[in-house]
Amino acid sequence: MLVSTRVRKSPFWHLSIEAGAWRATVYNRMYHPRGYVKPEDGGAMAEYDALVNRVTLWNVAVERQIQVKGPDAEAFVNYVITRDATKIKPMHGKYAILCNEQSGILNDPVLLRLAEDEFWFSISDSDLMLWLQGVNHGLHFNVTIRELDVAPLQVQGPLSEPLMADIVGDEVKDLPYYGLMHAKIGGCPVVVSQTGFTGEKGYEVYAYNATLNAEAVWYGIRGPGASYGLRVIAPAHHRRIAAGILSWGQDIDFETSPFQANLAYQVPRKKEADYIGKGELERQRAEIDAGRYPFALKLVGLKMEGHPITDYASDFWLIREPGAGRVGYVTSPWWSPELETNIALGYVPYRLSARDTELKVELPAYYSDVSGQPVRARVCRVPFRPSVNPSARERAEQEGRDWAD
C-alpha cells in the first residue's frame, strides 16, 4: 500500500512498523496494520496461535473516539442508538448500533459512558462524527460532539488478565465485562475496559493525549508483556468469526437491518423513548412476529469444505443452492484449527437459513478441492466456539433459544 500524507497515521503507526507490520489497509481514513508475521513464518495463523494460547497487543487506534458531552448527553445518545442508553451506568459500556430511518446499520461501536454527562463512541469503519453532528444540527441538544486525542490498544488472550494486573494493579481482576477503570501506564493516564474483538479474555486501553503519550503507553505494555510471551498482531478476524462477532463493512452496513444480522437483541421491545429508525424497526419486528420474514437474505453461520482459508478473503464469495443457482454470498471466512474446518458468516435466503441446510460455496481455485467446482457447505450454529464472556447470542444458545430471538 502506498503510504503518504493523504491518509492519516495513528499515534501508534511508527510503533507498529517497528514491531514488524508489513501490510496495512485503510479504516476510518487511517492506516490500519493488518499483518506482522510474514506468510513464510506462519502468517495470520501464527498470530492466531499467540492470541488463543498467550497474549497479544493490537494497534486499533483506527477506532476513533467520538465524545458526546453535556447536560443533554444521555438524551442525545438515547435518540441515536437503538438500545436504552439510560441503562448504561457511568464507568460502564455496551456494544450498540445506530440505524438510519430505513433501519440500515450506520455503525456498531463500543459505547463507553465515562460520566453522567459524557459518552465515547469507539467507532467501527464509518464516519460517525459527521452523522452525529448533522443529526444535532436541527435538534439543538445541549452537547458538544468532537473527536478526542484518545487512541485505543487491545490486549487480548488468556494471559491478558495477569499481564494487565502487573501493569495497572489487581483492581483490573475485579473489572466486570464492559466495565471501565482509570489507570496509568508508563506514567500516562488511560481508561481500561474489559472488552475486545475476540471471544478470548481481553482488555482495551484508551490512551489520553495519545499524540504525546503513545510511545510511553505502548512500551508500558510491551515491556512487562515480554515475560508473558506477548506478541504484536493484527486484529484477529479468524477468532472474532468463531465468536460470531460482526465486522461493519463486511457482515453489516447501512443497507443491513439488525433483524437480518441476528441483532434483534439490539432493538428492545420496551424502549419508550423515540430514536432514529424506531418506526421502521418496529414495523419489521411486527412482520417477523406475524411469521413473515421481510428481507431477501439472512445472515447465517457456515462450515465449508476446501483447503484451509488462512488469510483474508479477497472478495465476497458466492453461495449456491445445490441443483440451482447462486443465492447468496460469504462475508467473513476463515479456517478454524479447533474445529478443523473452514468457517464463515454469509447471507442466504431465509428459506435456506435453517441449521444443517446443505449449500455450496464458490471458493477461489487455490482453496477448492477441485478447481472450478464449488465446495460443500452447511448452515450451522453461531458462535462456532464458546467465548470467555458469552454474548447475548451465546447466552440464547445456552438457554435453548435461537440466537436471532
Each residue's pLDDT tens digit, 86-130: 999 999 999 999 999 999 999 999 999 999 999 999 999 999 999
Domain count, the chain: 1
Does 192 map to a domain?
Answer: no
First to last CA, the chain: 42
By percentage, how much of the chain surpasses pLDDT 90?
Answer: 93
Q: What is the pLDDT of residues 203-244, one digit of tens each?
A: 999 999 999 999 999 999 999 999 999 999 999 999 999 999
Rounded distance between C-alpha atoms, residue 49 and residue 57, angstroms: 13
Does 91 map to a domain?
Answer: no
Check pLDDT > 70 for residue 331. yes
Does 373 map to a domain?
Answer: yes
Q: What global pTM score does this model have?
A: 0.95
Does 55 map to a domain?
Answer: no
Q: Which of 162, 156, 155, 65 is nearest to 119 (CA)?
A: 65
Q: Which of 65, 42, 67, 47 is nearest to 57 (CA)?
A: 47
Which pLDDT band, with edges at 50, 70 and 90, does 403 fall under?
very low
Q: Per the structure block, which three cell numbers stand in for 117?
A: 454527562
pLDDT of residue 396: 63
pLDDT of residue 387: 84
104: which residues sit within 8 A by CB, 6+ positions away? 253, 254, 255, 256, 257
Q: Do residues 343 and 367 touch, judged by C-beta distance below 8 A?
A: no
Q: What is the pLDDT of residues 30-59, one digit of tens each?
A: 999 999 999 999 999 999 999 999 999 999
Q: Which residues of 282-297 are buried (b: 16+ CB within 10 A; e: fewer)?
A: eebbeeeeeeebebeb
Does 147 map to a domain?
Answer: no
Positive or negative torsion for Cα 7, 11, 15, 21:
negative
Check pLDDT > 80 for residue 184. yes
Q: What's the whole-number average pLDDT of the chain?
A: 95
Rounded distance between C-alpha atoms, residue 384 and residue 377, angstroms: 14
Does 296 map to a domain?
Answer: yes
| Whole-Å CA distances, 29 to 10, 64, 212, 217, 320 | 10, 10, 21, 23, 35
Does 383 map to a domain?
Answer: yes
Does 47 map to a domain?
Answer: no
Taking phi first (over 0 means left), then psi (-120 to 50 degrees means alpha), and beta for anything else, what does residue 29 get? left
Rounded distance between C-alpha atoms, residue 236 and residue 108, angstroms: 18
Q: What is the pLDDT of residues 273-327, one digit of tens each?
A: 999 999 999 999 999 999 999 999 999 999 999 999 999 999 999 999 999 999 9
| Whole-Å CA distances, 391 to 250, 267, 370, 394 | 20, 15, 37, 5
Which pLDDT band, with edges at 50, 70 and 90, does 357 fall under?
very high
Residue 326, domain CATH:
3.30.1360.120
355: which residues sit within 8 A by CB, 6+ positions away? 379, 380, 381
Check pLDDT > 70 for residue 6. yes
Domain residues for 268?
Answer: 242-398
